[in-house]
Amino acid sequence: MKILVMNCGSSSIKFQLLNMDTETLLVKGGVSKIGTRSAILDLDIPGQEKIKEVAEILDHQSSLEKVLARLMSPELGIIKEKAEIKAIGHRVVHGGESYSGSVAIDDAVVEEIKNLIDLAPLHNPHNLKGIEVCRRIFPEVLQVAVFDTAFHQTMPQASYIYPLPYVLYKRYKVRRYGFHGTSHFYVAHQCAEMMGKEYSKLRIITAHLGNGCSITAIKDGKVLDTSMGFTPLEGLVMGTRCGDIDPSIITYIISREDLSLHEANTLLNKHSGLSGISGVSNDMKDLSEAAADHPRAQLAIDIFCYRLKKYIAGYAGALGGVDALVFTGGIGENATMIREKACEGLEFMGLVIDKAKNAGSRGKAEISISDSPSKIYCIPTNEELVIARETKSILGDKK
């Protein structure tokens, strides 16, 4: 059974086509720079040379049509006809309080995702566009929305209500939502599997460290707390986002530099974080290479790890102890030095990293010493697989 997984941005689509009988990837790829004369179409078929094509592609619909035409072309022949795709799963960033799980998309769901645009103006409109395009091209096929926020809806109220006038929650739904839910969910389950223990009886901390970074405390299969909040700006230091700061700084800078709301927003979201501290790069790899010559590159790394460590320890306290800590995401999966620095000093609470294992790990691995009371893992995330599984399960229910 073939399932298509879609992730649409403002000028890009990313997709994976999976055979869900065997959970194998058939092809992944996407189109970027949509709306220009030099849009780029990428196709990556496992075991084959990557395909890249530059063409004028003006909108999301023609992007997907072009991709499908390539997949059905005689030379690739990945599918023979559209009808082979039995269901489509969409990544949708914000499900608000309406969705604590994945749903089959109908007009009412589309309307609700539209209503949530206010909460995720940068993502939901584009996710929605992907849904609309797919409904047009595949009118008969089941479409499923999988929300980044859904997993975090299991959070208790004490974790998601901000210490602001309660009426703001009532009026505008200002509360903690959390993001990267699909990724935290996936690696937490993988972790339980690797430990050979029951997922619903564990205390797990999952750190998704990529372009955006978030960390989640999971107790007995439910989210206890997560670092991203009302928007993906809160919490850890990120590539260009500041994470936690004193909110008064914002009003102070706005008045000192006469900033508009847009400028203040961009300052916090695009000019801060690793990039803002270092002045060198927003990429952890660049910073590690530059650290020897640039004191501020080193400072950025130090702040990143220090704040990460505070969250790990804080969540361990909130959980009443920790059975496992998981690193995932681009940085979490690849930056051995960051994992080591973030765990440094946490031995007292049972997290003892094995430096040699950590340095040598590739892919899914345990990186704590063998008698460490709490385990540390590095687990590559796979959000698309979760989306495909969710879609398959809803398709099964429908039948």
Partner 1 sequence: MDILDIGIIGASTRGRGLAEAAALAGLNVNLVELNKETLDRGIRKIGEEMDHLIEKWGLTDSEKKAAMARIKGITSLEDLEKKCQMVIVTVREDLDLNKDIFARLDAHMSPATILVTHSAILSVTEIATATQRPDKVAGITFLPPVVRVQLGEVVRGLKTSQETYETVTMFINDRLGKTAVEVAEAPGYISIRMLVNMINEAMYLVMEGIASIEDIDTSMKLGFDMKRGPFEIADKVGLDMVLVWTKYMYKEAGYRYNAPCPLLLKLVRANNLGKKTGEGFYKYDESGKIIGVGALSQMKKWSYNV
**Could you give the residue numbers annotated as active site?**
148
Q: Is 124 annotated as a binding residue?
A: no
Q: Is 332 annotated as a binding residue?
A: yes
Q: Is 383 annotated as a binding residue?
A: yes
- Identify which of residues 28 and 271 has a Cβ nearer to partner 1 in the complex: 271
Q: Is 13 annotated as a binding residue?
A: no
Cβ at position 167, least distance to partner 1 in Å: 25
Cβ at position 36, least distance to partner 1 in Å: 7
C-alpha 204/C-alpha 223 separation (Å) is 9
Chain centroid to CA 53: how far?
27
Q: Tell me the H-state helices in the chain.
A: 60-72, 107-115, 124-137, 157-160, 166-172, 181-195, 248-257, 261-270, 273-278, 284-290, 295-319, 329-334, 336-343, 355-360, 383-398
- Identify which of residues 18 and 133 has a Cβ nearer to partner 1 in the complex: 133
| Nearest partner of 145 among 331, 362, 337, 390, judged by Cα | 390
Q: Is 269 annotated as a binding residue?
A: no
- Identify which of residues 36 and 372 has a Cβ nearer to partner 1 in the complex: 36
Cβ at position 82, least distance to partner 1 in Å: 26
Cβ at position 297, least distance to partner 1 in Å: 17
Per-residue b or e along 184-203, where b marks 16 or more CB atoms closer than 10 Å to that residue's CB: bbbbbbbbbebbeeebeebb
356, amino acid identity = A
Cα 68-72-76 angle, rounded to 5 deg: 115
- Identify which of residues 193 and 257 has a Cβ nearer to partner 1 in the complex: 257
Q: Is 211 annotated as a binding residue?
A: yes
Element (DSSP H or E) covering residue 49: none
Applying CB under 8 A, the residues found at the interface with partner 1 are 11, 35-37, 58, 240, 257, 259-260, 262-264, 266-267, 270-271
Q: Is 75 annotated as a binding residue?
A: no
User: Three-state secondary structure along 335-375?
Assistant: CHHHHHHHHCCCHHHCECECHHHHHHCCCCEECECCCCCEE
Cβ-based neighbours of 112, under 8 Å, separated by 6 or more: 96, 98, 99
- Identify which of residues 263 and 354 has a Cβ nearer to partner 1 in the complex: 263
Cβ at position 63, least distance to partner 1 in Å: 14
Pick out the residues of the known binding site for Mg(2+).
Answer: 7, 383
Pick out the residues of the known binding site for substrate.
Answer: 91
